Amino acid sequence: MTKRTVAIAVLLAIVLTVTIGFASLDRETRALLATVPTNTDVLAWKPRQRDAAFRALDRLPMLAKSVAITPSPTPLPLPAGTPLVIPAIDAYLASQRMAGIVILQDGRVRYERYGLGFDSAGRWTSFSVAKSFTSTLVGAALADGSIRGLDDAVSAYIPGLRGSAYDDVSIRQLLTMSSGVRWNEDYEDPASDVSMFNNAAPDAGMDATVSYLRKLPRAHSPGEVWHYNTGETNLIGVLVSSATGKPLGQYLQEKIWHPGGMEAKATWLLGKTGHEIAGCCIQAATRDFARFGLFVLNGGPPSGEHIVPADWFAQATTKQQDIGSPGRGYGFQWWTYDDGAVAAQGIFGQGIFIDRKRRLVIATNANWPRASIGPEPVAREAFYRQVQALLDAEGK
């Protein structure tokens, strides 16, 4: 962010405070104004800044513009179930810097807690949990006939990629992150692609994601090597919008948010050229992230409407690529477990864990000290296993 932009952001904060009155602003906006980040690189923010910003990224357009997704006219009830007693839960939540956790079994709330000044009415940003929403919208576009097939070339839907390393890459290879195009996803390297591409100046008249990715070289043949790439999920979002002729936020509202019975408003942050950042940044209530888990667990919305092809989730949540970790894999923008469970995961501790065998959904929002490095990811996996064991013990 330039010094001029920083000055404008600070000035905006002052103007809002003086003309509207600090006390009249909602809690999230007040917290954000008190800790306004001095740049747009979330990876460089201090923990206190992230605590405030992660629940208010859509409050100041100077930081990021967004589009709104309206609540469902028929919210899906989440009735209370038998409270789940989890040993040492307080220590776990503190160590994870947990903002919100909702545990559902058979659609009933077994456990729910909030922290970091967040609550059930607030919206927390998803980071890469959004990837699994975007993947599901590909399934919806297939069901609509807007996308003809997963083995179609990406460039058939995004003409700006013709002649680039993506010319021979299929939609399926994008979904499974096996395009073979070179990419650096190191969150702690300021020179990495994931750090630079959102701030890169796009070519005139071209979508920012397409402009950046079309210049990348090939590292492997398509389909041969799995390599995690957030930029390509953004590209999937561009593809869905191009194929359907609808903005991604509108399509999310039509295909997931309203049919899935989401109770609260959500927002989706926009990139430089006005397109939703498909690999990131859906702001939503923790309960609605949990409802999305139910949507996937049940193969679609409560109405039984066929939003995606009948076999979509079977494909999407099954290992399609080996990631070099025993018992784990990658599907269509989902992390898979060999026992049949599946997870959406975002940096700093965002997640939706789905276990069909136990009819279990665990939705979490957090603010880890580091994006993905440290003891927190391992502890989260252990927590999932702990909850599974507790449910198994109930059934004995």
Per-residue pLDDT at 396:
64
* Alpha helix segments (H runs only) across the chain: 3-16, 27-34, 47-53, 89-96, 130-144, 171-175, 193-196, 208-213, 230-244, 248-252, 286-297, 312-316, 376-394
Per-residue pLDDT at 198:
79
Per-residue pLDDT at 14:
41
- Number of Cα atoms under 13 Å in the Cβ half of residue 62: 21
Per-residue pLDDT at 64:
82
Q: What's the angle, vertex CA 173, arms to CA 246 and CA 365, rounded to 5?
A: 65
Per-residue pLDDT at 261:
98
Q: Enter the DSSP assignment of 44.
A: G
- One digit per residue, the tens of pLDDT, for the chain of length 396 reads 333 433 434 444 444 444 455 455 677 777 666 666 655 677 778 899 999 999 999 987 877 899 999 999 999 999 999 999 999 999 999 999 999 999 999 999 999 999 999 999 999 999 999 999 999 999 999 999 999 999 999 999 999 999 999 999 999 999 999 999 999 999 889 899 998 887 889 999 999 999 999 999 999 999 999 999 999 999 999 999 999 999 999 999 999 999 999 999 999 999 999 999 999 999 999 999 999 999 999 999 999 999 999 999 999 999 999 999 999 999 999 999 999 999 999 999 999 999 999 999 999 999 999 999 999 999 999 999 999 999 999 986
Per-residue pLDDT at 4:
40
Per-residue pLDDT at 63:
74
DSSP three-state, residue 146: coil
| Contact by Cβ (8 Å): 288, 262 | yes
Helix (H) or strand (E) holding 282: strand 282-284
| Contact by Cβ (8 Å): 314, 331 | no
| Contact by Cβ (8 Å): 161, 275 | no
Q: Which domains does the chain have, with CATH numbers?
A: 3-63 (no CATH), 89-394 (3.40.710.10)
Per-residue pLDDT at 199:
80
pTM value surpassing 0.85: yes
DSSP string, 84-134: PP-TTHHHHHHHHTEEEEEEEETTEEEEEEE-TT--TTS-EE-GGGHHHHH
| Contact by Cβ (8 Å): 111, 83 | yes
The count of residues in the chain is 396
Per-residue pLDDT at 15:
42
Per-residue pLDDT at 26:
77
Per-residue pLDDT at 36:
60
Per-residue pLDDT at 8:
39
Per-residue pLDDT at 2:
39
| Contact by Cβ (8 Å): 307, 139 | yes
